[in-house]
Copies of this chain bind each other. A is one copy, B any other.
Amino acid sequence: MSASTESWQERLRASGHRLTPQRELVLAAVEKLGHATPDEVYAEVRLHSESINLSTIYRTLELLNELGLIRHAHLTDRAPTYHSATGHEHAHFVCRGCKKMISVGRGEMEAALGELAATYDFSPDYGHLTVFGTCADCRED
């Protein structure tokens, strides 16, 4: 975990960007929250700095996303959800009923989907896959 916290600053610099407190705060917020919309990130960052602006949140999320430090998906209707990309990769089974999330190791998912993906000459983003469906508890017919 310390291995990745060392390199993100370097990655910023390497790409010609500057290390600002806003960028640290946004990344920290995304990592703390796990999954969050821009608004939620803003609220979290606001707890630590009064003056940061929403547009900075958007610009920073976009930058961190480009650098691969965070990822985003559009799980809900209005608003993308961002999350850290520095932790270990895993896919999710998400229950539409109770919203429960079951984490599945990247390896298991890759083993299951690999062959099919190869057939289509496609390289899935295994560490980032979300499979919607119904869990055992919510399946009653």
Contact = CB atoms under 8 A, between A and B. Distances in A.
A11 to B, nearest CB: 17
Contact of A116 (B80, B104, B121, B125): B104
Contact of A136 (B104, B121, B128, B133): B121
Given A74-B74, A75-B74, A117-B93, A123 B112 contact: no
A124 interface: yes
Contacts of A128: 132
A133 B123 CA distance: 5
A132 B136 contact: no
A96 B68 CA distance: 13
Interface in A85-116: 93, 95-96, 102, 104, 108-109, 111-113, 115-116
Interface string A58-101: 00000000000000001111001000000000000101100000
A118 to B, nearest CB: 10
A75 B115 CA distance: 24
Interface of A: 74-77, 80, 93, 95-96, 102, 104, 108-109, 111-113, 115-117, 120-126, 128-129, 131-136, 139
